[in-house]
Amino acid sequence: MAEYEAVIGLETHIQLNTVTKIFCSCKADSWMDPPNTNICPVCTGLPGVLPVLNKAVVEKGVLLAQAMHAQLRELSYFDRKNYFYPDLPKGYQISQYDMSLAVGGYLDLPMPQGYMRRVSITKLHLEEDAGKTKNEYGRRLIDFNRCGVPLVEMVTGPDLRSADEAAQYLIRLRQLLRWLGVSEGDMEKAHLRCDANVSVRPKGADYLNPKTEIKNVNSIDAVRNAIQTEIARQVREVEAGRRVEAWTLEWDEDSATLRKMRSKETEADYRYFREPDLLPVRLDEDWKQAILAGFPELPLERRARFIEQYGLPEYDAEILTAERSLSDYYEAAVRAYGGDPKRVSNWMMNEVLRMLNERGLAAGQMKLKPAYLAEILKLVDAGTINMPTGKALLVKVEESGLAPGQIVEAEGLAKVSDEEPIRAACREMLAENPKEVGTYRGGKVTLMGWFVGQVMRKMRGKADPNVVRSVLEELLK
């Protein structure tokens, strides 16, 4: 393997999250619906029907093209891609060929190893999805629900050099789709599908060898495993003196193996021609500017800004920009707090993210608003409540939706720094644990932490732990 390098390109099909399909008014997202319940004469290709383009599909496609640094075309066309397959009822797919919505573009991948890989985009066009087939009880069943679902097909150049880079591309692409709000990007629900083109060549070579195409991969891990398997197979073929054939391969997740499906098609096989039932798409300057008016700061740009503006470590910035709602929440909390941005980051990375994961929420869905998180930090900073009470207060606010100060007052959670009640609690705790007191006095001073915890429990977490420790040290002398 050290003598060879992989050359990988990915073809992704991205389901746009519009309410209706691309050329008819049928429901677009039918993942949980019974087969053949979201269909009509248009998406099943019955004679005499005419498609009507969904404006929202174009607008979401423009947002994605802009994020991929692609050049938007003022004039684009739809074409017919002709092939015969059981789940394609018209006998052709409405797609875009030589005059697509956008051309060119790239996506930068910051790799965990510390280098940046730029992946070029050679195709970015709109099209409709086909249906799906399912083998069951020795029969082949067809579900037309997906026919007409709006897709963006995006094809990379042969720029990726490993299965890990291919996986990272999909991770960053999925992040971008969700960030823009154009797709859910869930591979298990076919919102994002990927075919991988793989070849190998001697290291340092600049030519391309015959490639194979891998299909039927429905997770990022599956893409990584399938590509690794195919790279190893091709190297074995080359070293045995055999030629790698341009086959389409199918990945079997259960057995983690590849098998041949068919010889790979070429563009000539599809006999493209202009779609006569649809007008050209005219993206004039006014429409384009209206679509891009609220275009957001992109994830990698925001990540770099968080490091520069807030002085965050790269790890914190990466986590806090993983999702747009989390990123927006952090910035709102920093503004409301007005103090050290790293302190806000620490609480979010440790406490808030744990709460989000446990409850299955996005940051924007929480009752614990950014201003409430900032208020809790201010209460801790002022010494009104201690750290453990502050962490517990996060949960109380999330469960009730009440302001932190309101809860502190209603439940009497303010920190107790008065030595008198703390001393009484310490004496009581020591009297209840004579064995541990003897052990401590015998030299096991690490028990001090346990003693502090017992007193804090007695005082329902409200005592100042520094005062508790000081009083205990005095009493245990």
pLDDT digit string (tens) for 223-238? 999 999 999 999 999 9
- pLDDT, tens digit, 9 for 90 and up, residues 335-351: 999 999 999 999 999 99
- Residue 315 sits in the same domain as residue 238: no
- Residue 228 sits in the same domain as residue 362: no
Last residue of a domain, one of 411, 439, 460: 411
pLDDT of residue 263 exceeding 70, the answer is no
CATH number for position 426: 1.10.10.410
- pLDDT, tens digit, 9 for 90 and up, residues 14-64: 999 999 999 999 999 988 899 999 999 999 999 999 999 999 999 999 999
The C-alpha atoms of residue 439 and residue 447 are separated, in whole angstroms, by 8
Determine the pLDDT at residue 265: 59
- pLDDT, tens digit, 9 for 90 and up, residues 3-13: 999 999 999 99
Complete DSSP assignment for 15-43? E---SB-SSSSSBS--TTSPTT-S--TTT
For residue 461, is it left (φ>0), alpha (ψ between -120 and 50) or beta? Answer: left
- Share above pLDDT 90 across residues of the chain, in percent, rounded to a whole number: 75
- Residue 277 sits in the same domain as residue 393: no
pLDDT of residue 142 exceeding 70, the answer is yes
Of 6, 2, 13, which is closest to residue 224 (Cα–Cα)?
6
pTM of the predicted protein model: 0.86
- Residue 429 sits in the same domain as residue 320: no
- Residue 177 sits in the same domain as residue 70: yes
**In contact, 348 and 330? CB cutoff 8 Å:** yes
Last residue of a domain, one of 291, 326, 353: 291
Lowest-confidence segment of 51-65, 169-183, 400-414 by average pLDDT:
400-414
Average pLDDT over residues 385-408: 92
Count: domains in the chain: 3
- Residue 115 sits in the same domain as residue 254: yes
- Residue 236 sits in the same domain as residue 321: no
Determine the pLDDT at residue 97: 95
Determine the pLDDT at residue 267: 67
Residue 438 is given by DSSP the state H
Q: At what angle do helices 299-310 and 324-337 cross, to 10 degrees?
A: 20
More confident position, 270 or 100: 100
Lowest-confidence segment of 126-135, 184-193, 250-259, 457-466 by average pLDDT:
457-466
Mean pLDDT of the chain: 93
Share of the chain residues as helix, strand and coil, in percent rounded to the nearest 5: 40, 20, 35
More confident position, 332 or 443: 332
**Distance between the two ends of the chain, CA-based, in angstroms?**
67
Q: What are phi and psi of 108, to 5 degrees?
A: -90, 135
Of 68, 58, 80, which is closest to residue 151 (Cα–Cα)?
58
The residues near 388 (Cβ < 8 Å, ≥ 6 apart) are 456, 461, 465
Determine the pLDDT at residue 457: 85
Average pLDDT over residues 353-380: 94
Determine the pLDDT at residue 165: 97
Torsion (CA) 249, 253, 257, 261 in degrees, nearest 10: -20
- Residue 125 sits in the same domain as residue 144: yes
Of 7, 3, 45, which is closest to residue 24 (Cα–Cα)?
45
- Residue 269 sits in the same domain as residue 347: no
- Residue 234 sits in the same domain as residue 372: no
- Residue 462 sits in the same domain as residue 386: no
Determine the pLDDT at residue 418: 73
Determine the pLDDT at residue 162: 95
- Residue 33 sits in the same domain as residue 179: yes
Last residue of a domain, one of 370, 387, 411: 411
Determine the pLDDT at residue 93: 97
Instruction: Show the domain range for 447.
Output: 419-475
